[in-house]
Amino acid sequence: MSDVCLDCGACCETFRVSFYWAETDAHPQGRVPHALTTAISPYLVCMRGTERKPSRCVALLGEVGRAVSCNIYEQRSSTCREFDAGTEACNRARQQHGLPSLRLKK
């Protein structure tokens, strides 16, 4: 997690965090705690709390824009692992929470 993410967390309180169910520990090789997910189709789950609006991932600790952390950081889904600070999506989430945009990554 980049340092800027520790002061943000807007993505965790904006987007649905969906991924293939086999990433959960319900599968022998999965890591994401299944108990923290909600089924959204026969093959996809999402982090609990992100299936509705307003959204807030159940694993997010702290206050967005101040100090946050992920309760399951080492076990987080591919969706979270692939999300980068400074992207267009990141800045959209930051704007929704009244935070300034970051320099865009390409």
Asked whether 92 and 9 are in contact (CB, 8 A), the reply is no
- Who wins on pLDDT, 4 or 22? 22
Q: What is the pLDDT of residue 54?
A: 93
Of 30-34, 69-73, 83-87, 100-104, the poorest mean pLDDT is in 100-104
pLDDT, average across residues 37-57: 97
Per-residue tokens: 70: 């992920």
- Pick from 104, 73, 98, 81: nearest CA to 14: 98
For the chain, the distance separating the N- and C-terminal CA atoms, rounded to the nearest angstrom, is: 18
Average pLDDT, the chain: 94
Burial of 28 (0-12, 13-18, 19+ CB in 10 A): exposed
Cβ distance 46 to 40 under 8 Å? yes
Whether the pTM exceeds 0.85: the reply is yes
